[in-house]
A and B are shown apart, each in its own frame.
Chain A
Amino acid sequence: MSQHETATDIDASLDTRPVLTARGIRLGFGDTTVLDGVDLTVQPREFIAIVGASGVGKSTLLRALSGLLPPRAGDVSIPHGQGPDSRAGSMVFQAPRLFPWRRVRANVELGLEGLALSRGERRRRALEPLTLVGLEDYAERWPHTLSGGQQQRVGIARALAVRPRVLFMDEPFSALDAITRRRLQQELIDLRQRTEAAIVFVTHDIEEAVLLADQVVVLGGQTTDRPAGVVAHHRVTLPALGRRDHPDFADRVQAIEAAIGQH
């Protein structure tokens, strides 16, 4: 390793190299290959949305990228991943899946257990993201006393607490009612100003993808004897603020809908 690379390793935040690189990912179950030849590069602080028809393997791909599921072929790397007090990646699930036997704060501490943190530091590191999602007053509550939207906010806080390089989100808002979904989408846009993490976000809602992401990756193209793959990359160059009201918003959505439809 050269002198120059060692220097950039020390200050990872100055590093402009990709935070996640996936090459030739193949996924399947049983004798079936669902998804093949997926390449993906995530830049620091980038927000990537993965869209595609249901059954195309979006969530499975996310699990492979996050290390929860070993791919059948290909490899995923998250350079400068795990630190002494942080984890390479963390996941927000579709259902919040909080542990009902832990209070809210203890749920957020889950990923911090096992890191080099004292009890006090762990507590502080859990309250930080809880404040970010506006639930610091709920820290000592039991999960079942929270609404669905609040529970998903705790799920987001739990994932942010480990200061991940990449935050994986698996249709995190799809189980919520429309009003709560809109509010949480806005909160996620605001949250991006205050977190270093890059985000890989799976959704079947194309408007949501265009609203939130810098880059939309479209999966599709499967036939009876060919697995799905990446069929299009769309850069969303609209300004983050008030994006939904931008005159070009509908065009971008239509372009991606067309990309899914063609394949």
Chain B
Amino acid sequence: MNRAPRTLLSLCGLAGFLGLWELALRSGLLPGSLVPMPSVIPGVLWAEIADGIWLEVVTASLSHYAVGVLLGSALGIAVGVAAALLPRFNAVHAWLARLLRPIPPLAWIPFAIIWFGINPSAAAFIISIGVFWINYFASHSAVRSVDPGYDEVARAFGHGGFLARLTRVSLPAAAPGILGGLRAGLGQGWMTVVAAELFGIPGIGQRMMEASSLLATDIVVVYMLTIAGLYALFDFLFVILQRRLLRWQP
């Protein structure tokens, strides 16, 4: 299928969905207390921006997100790569990883509050947990599946040391997998950002809680769409970076 008709069809699908939604509310088929009308959303968004609330909560959430994603990604890649390259470290941590892995990030909320209090660090901590596991598994399997032939080439040309092989072979050869993990982590971060703020840390999540307690569903939808927009923006920028870094791929 060509690109232009496909885009057109996708657009029709979205417009049709919004149109049916609007129609269902206007005709009284759906009660207005359950969901807001799509047509009111732009006005509500503008009101939030004009009040300065939008920028404030988005900035707060972005800072939790940035710290959580950076921390989770860096640690996840470091531990994942180390586990793939160092058999002894792999053996030491294997069961610990198996034990901790199934615990969902939100289950850490009690500890986050005890350790950090109700503040931005607690939110960043919770966000970092989900991001950590995604990056950990992606980089671990990416480094493990690097062709050992490349290691032999590195050794044959005087790069037998651990650091030389890490920088010359393991990291560049595993880059496609590691970057794939980073991208998935960027998405995962947004999934937890709202939940991490629900217990009173200022940000998008808290604003949504406030709005829903007042049954202001239109404000809730504004922030749902804000998150979708921010995710799309970050993902778009990351894909540009990813293409640039992997331009050696056929």
1/0 per residue, CB under 8 A from A, across B149-166: the answer is: 110111111110000100
Contact partner, B153, options A99, A101, A115, Cβ 8 Å? A99
Size range of the chain A interface in the assembly: 20 to 34
Tell me if A68 and B153 are in contact (CB < 8 A): no
Tell me if A93 and B153 are in contact (CB < 8 A): yes
Q: State whether the Cβ of B184 lies closer than 8 Å to any Cβ in chain A.
A: no
Contact partner, B157, options A95, A100, A110, A143, Cβ 8 Å? A110
Given the contacts A66-B156, A97-B150, A110 and B249 also touching, CB distance less than 8 Å: no
1/0 per residue, CB under 8 A from B, across A91-112: the answer is: 1010101011111000000110
Q: State whether the Cβ of A90 lies closer than 8 Å to any Cβ in chain B.
A: yes
Tell me if A111 and B158 are in contact (CB < 8 A): yes
User: CA of A213 to CA of B145 in the docked complex: distance in angstroms?
Assistant: 38
User: CA of A162 to CA of B153 in the docked complex: distance in angstroms?
Assistant: 14
Tell me if A97 and B149 are in contact (CB < 8 A): yes
Return the chain B residue nearest A89 by Cβ. Answer: B156
For the complex formed, measure the closest distance between the CB of A70 and the CB atoms of chain B, giving whole angstroms. 12
User: CA of A144 to CA of B246 in the docked complex: distance in angstroms?
Assistant: 13
Considering only residues 100-140 of chain A, those with a C-beta below 8 Å from chain B are 100-103, 110-111, 113-115
User: CA of A101 to CA of B167 in the docked complex: distance in angstroms?
Assistant: 12
Q: State whether the Cβ of A249 lies closer than 8 Å to any Cβ in chain B.
A: no
Return the chain B residue nearest A82 by Cβ. Answer: B158
Tell me if A100 and B248 are in contact (CB < 8 A): yes
Q: Which residues of A contact B152 (CB under 8 A)?
A: 68, 93, 97
Return the chain A residue nearest B176 by Cβ. Answer: A101
1/0 per residue, CB under 8 A from A, across B236-250: the answer is: 000000000001111
Q: Which residues of B contact A103 (CB under 8 A)?
A: 248
Q: State whether the Cβ of B175 lies closer than 8 Å to any Cβ in chain A.
A: yes
Considering only residues 175-209 of chain B, those with a C-beta below 8 Å from chain A are 175
User: CA of A23 to CA of B53 in the docked complex: distance in angstroms?
Assistant: 81
Q: State whether the Cβ of A158 lies closer than 8 Å to any Cβ in chain B.
A: yes
Considering only residues 46-101 of chain A, those with a C-beta below 8 Å from chain B are 66, 68, 87, 90-91, 93, 95, 97, 99-101
Given the contacts A110-B153, A144-B250, A101 and B159 also touching, CB distance less than 8 Å: no
Q: Which residues of B contact A158 (CB under 8 A)?
A: 157
Q: Which residues of B contact A91 (CB under 8 A)?
A: 156
For the complex formed, measure the closest distance between the CB of B246 and the CB atoms of chain A, giving whole angstroms. 8
Report how many residues on chain B are interfacial, defined by Cβ distance under 8 Å. 20
Tell me if A110 and B168 are in contact (CB < 8 A): yes
Tell me if A99 and B172 are in contact (CB < 8 A): yes
Given the contacts A90-B157, A110-B157, A100 and B149 also touching, CB distance less than 8 Å: no
Tell me if A114 and B159 are in contact (CB < 8 A): yes
Q: Which residues of A contact B247 (CB under 8 A)?
A: 142
For the complex formed, measure the closest distance between the CB of B173 and the CB atoms of chain A, giving whole angstroms. 7
Given the contacts A110-B168, A142-B248, A144-B250, A99 and B150 also touching, CB distance less than 8 Å: yes
Give the interface centre of B150, B157, B159, B173 by most chain A CB atoms within 10 Å.
B157
Tell me if B158 and A93 are in contact (CB < 8 A): no
Tell me if A95 and B149 are in contact (CB < 8 A): yes
Q: Which residues of B contact A97 (CB under 8 A)?
A: 149-150, 152-153
1/0 per residue, CB under 8 A from B, across A133-160: the answer is: 0000000001110000000000000100
User: CA of A113 to CA of B247 in the docked complex: distance in angstroms?
Assistant: 23
Q: Which residues of A contact B153 (CB under 8 A)?
A: 93, 97, 99, 110
User: CA of A110 to CA of B152 in the docked complex: distance in angstroms?
Assistant: 13
User: CA of A103 to CA of B164 in the docked complex: distance in angstroms?
Assistant: 18
User: CA of A93 to CA of B154 in the docked complex: distance in angstroms?
Assistant: 12
For the complex formed, measure the closest distance between the CB of A154 and the CB atoms of chain B, giving whole angstroms. 12
Contact partner, A110, options B149, B159, B248, Cβ 8 Å? B159
Tell me if A87 and B158 are in contact (CB < 8 A): yes
For the complex formed, measure the closest distance between the CB of B249 and the CB atoms of chain A, giving whole angstroms. 7
User: CA of A97 to CA of B153 in the docked complex: distance in angstroms?
Assistant: 7
For the complex formed, measure the closest distance between the CB of B241 and the CB atoms of chain A, giving whole angstroms. 15
Q: Which residues of A contact B173 (CB under 8 A)?
A: 99, 101
Given contacts A99-B168, A100-B248, A144-B250, 10 further A-B contacts (CB under 8 A): A68-B152, A93-B152, A97-B150, A99-B153, A100-B249, A101-B172, A101-B173, A114-B158, A115-B158, A162-B158
Q: Which 10 A-B pairs have the closest CB atoms?
A: A111-B157, A101-B172, A91-B156, A144-B250, A101-B248, A110-B157, A97-B153, A142-B248, A97-B149, A114-B158
Q: List 15 A-B contacts (CB under 8 A).
A: A90-B156, A91-B156, A99-B150, A99-B169, A99-B173, A101-B172, A101-B175, A110-B157, A110-B159, A110-B168, A111-B158, A113-B159, A142-B248, A144-B250, A162-B157
- B residues sitting closer than 8 Å to A (CB atoms) are 149-150, 152-159, 164, 168-169, 172-173, 175, 247-250
